[in-house]
Amino acid sequence: MIRLLSLFLLAVALLTACTDATRRGGGDILVLGDSVMAWNGGSDAAIPDAMQAALGRNVVSKAVPGAQFDNDSGLAGAVGFDIRRQFPGGRWNWIVINGGANDLGSDCGCGACAGVVDRLIGADGMSGAIPAFVSRLRAESGARILWMGYYAGNGKGSFNGCRDDLVRMETRLARFAKASPGVLFVDSEDVIDPAEPGNYAADNTHPSARASALIGAYLARQIAQAGRSQNP
């Protein structure tokens, strides 16, 4: 079953790559990430859709369900299962990113994941694959970066065992953002109440359409507020 799901996701990503009309010249707001970002996209109710509606700006999403941050494994990485390779190039005003949960689920089974977290972002909060990629995006795209942290689960989803490591990773990410001009860390947990069943999809892992709307509107507010700041 897992193999069939993986093949289906790969086929969807391949189709997306073949029909992708995003110009390499860039645009306004670009979204990179995994299924939390992409969920509800089939009904135009994903987080990027809510951001676009709230801001009245053009938002292009490259998020792919099942994507890992670090999954540079041939074809799968090339069609979006490596979040770093979702970046199409070009100049952007903002790039919004999430990721890391699938790395923990795939690479260490949400068990002994300290090494995976360290590879993504070191204990100093400044080293590792994520800071390196964000710094490259800043240099190549000129964009301000908003990293979206994961919300807490409701205790029934598939990533419950990852919670401690995700908190560790995102504590480091928040420290990295604070020390890095043009980088924001925004935690979707701030607007998602884990005690509210209506915030979760039927799989108890992904956001419901309601939750996607809440998160998208929250990210939009952070972008609008930062846009009024004088700091690049």
CA separation for the pair 17, 78 (Å, rounded): 9
Structure tokens of 23?
């110009």
Determine the angle formed by the axes of helices 47-55 and 209-227, rounding to 10 degrees. 50
CA separation for the pair 29, 92 (Å, rounded): 6
* Residue-range domains of the chain with CATH: 2-227 (3.40.50.1110)
* Residue 46 neighbours by CB distance under 10 Å: 27
- Tens digits of pLDDT across the chain (232 residues): 333 334 444 444 444 443 344 446 799 999 999 999 999 999 999 999 999 999 999 999 999 999 999 986 655 545 569 999 999 999 999 999 999 999 999 999 999 999 999 999 999 999 999 999 999 999 999 999 999 999 999 999 989 899 999 999 999 999 999 999 999 999 999 999 999 999 999 999 999 999 999 999 999 999 999 986 544 4
SS3 of residue 1 by DSSP: coil
CB 122 within 8 A of CB 72: no
